[in-house]
Amino acid sequence: MDASEKKEVLRQWIKESGNIVFFGGAGVSTESNIPDFRGVDGLYRQKYKYRPETILSHSFYETHTEEFFAFYRDKMLFPEAQPNAAHLALARLEEQGKCKAVVTQNIDGLHQAAGSKKVLELHGSVLRNTCSRCGRPYGLQTILESEGIPRCECGGVIKPDVVLYEEGLDQETLQEAVRCIREADMLIVGGTSLTVYPAAGLIDYYRGRRLVLINKSETGMDGRADLLLNGPISILAECLPKA
Ligand code: NAD
């Protein structure tokens, strides 16, 4: 099948489906100018004193808190970013009653900004931050405007509600993602290298025969796709059914 035939199949499957779940990662937001980790311009190809996995780990956060926040503010926060065609297409599919959930590894809040309501954020969100001493919630602006280690009025450190390496995922979110994927008649996976676990393992819960994989580069799970589109995630926007 050539690329245009594949798009036609995707269009047809979306048209026929009433329970689509989308599972995505950093590649969904690169067209919003947020770099991914492992893509060609990803963060992992840039050079730092420590590897990004190290800096974004719980133990580094605990032991090098100031360095963590310097990197975090510089490389993880994109307050100007706007939803792109893929985010908007998924919101539209939800509105049409077709997309039942967006399961995302992203922490940028762009699916909600596009209008999606049912968004399961496996790795949390930069938009939510909490004082680790008194539990007071803070928005993104507080982190952006702070210098050094962001502190609550009570003196506690304000920690982003983002899942760091070595930290566990929120069990309720994970279980709901499993439930949605298990019940889906079509699973669209896109913009993810499928290397970060346990998130990547969620694909195993899908039981249908319409597993679509849209990614710019190869993944270790390409062989499992019923339909493999090697290209940008914005393909989704081209395959929406007419209202
Ligand atoms: P990843 O960086 O490991 O992989 C991204 C994948 O997307 C790559 O395979 C790349 O080829 C592909 N890609 C890039 N642009 C694309 C496009 N326009 N269309 C289609 N495919 C595209 O990302 P991951 O698998 O999500 O894992 C990285 C972890 O980093 C996640 O856990 C996530 O929490 C975090 N992260 C989040 C953001 C964000 O919130 N926007 C950004 C960077 C990293």
The DSSP secondary structure of 102-128, one letter per residue, reads EEE---S-HHHHHT-S-EEETTEEEEE
Q: Is the CB of 123 under 6 A from ligand 1?
A: yes
Residue 216 lies in a domain: yes
CB 216 near ligand 1, within 6 Å: yes
Q: pLDDT tens for residues 93-110? A: 999 999 999 999 999 999
Domain that holds residue 8: 1-34+82-123+168-243
> Closest ligand 1 atom, CA of 218?
9
Q: How far is CA 134 from the centre of its chain?
A: 29
In a domain? residue 11: yes
Please report, as a single letter, which amino acid is at residue 212: V
Number of domains in the chain: 1
Strand-pair partners of 130: 137, 159
Query: Contact, 203 vs 221, CB < 8 A?
Result: yes
Give pLDDT, residue 41: 65
**Ligand 1, atom 16: closest residue by C-alpha:** 27
DSSP string, 194-230: S-STTGGGGGGG--SS-EEEEESS--TTGGG-SEEEE
**Cα–chain-centroid distance for residue 174?**
13
Band (pLDDT 50/70/90 cuts) for residue 243 is: low
pLDDT exceeds 80 at position 242: no
243 found inside a domain? yes
Tell me, yes or no, whether 193 lies in a domain. Answer: yes
d(CA 90, CA 104) in angstroms, rounded, equals 12
Instruction: Report residue 101: phi and psi, to 5°.
Output: -165, 145
Name the 3-class secondary structure at 162. strand
Does any domain span residue 135?
A: no
Q: Which atom of ligand 1 is nearest to the CA of 194?
A: 25
Assign residue 230 the CATH number of its domain. 3.40.50.1220
Q: Is residue 141 part of a domain?
A: no
Active-site annotation holds for 58: no
Q: Is residue 92 part of a domain?
A: yes
Residue 170: count other Cβ atoms within 10 Å of its Cβ: 16
Average the pLDDT over 23-33 and give the result.
Answer: 97
Is residue 226 domain-resident? yes
Q: For 45-102, what is each residue's pLDDT tens digit? A: 776 788 888 999 999 999 999 999 999 999 999 999 999 999 999 999 999 999 999 9
Nearest atom of ligand 1 to the alpha carbon of 42: 2
The protein residue whose alpha carbon is closest to atom 31 in ligand 1 is 105
Run of H or E residues at 152: none
- pTM recorded for the entire structure: 0.95
Contact 108, 26 (CB under 8 A): no
Q: What pLDDT band is residue 181 in, cutting at 50, 70 and 90?
A: very high
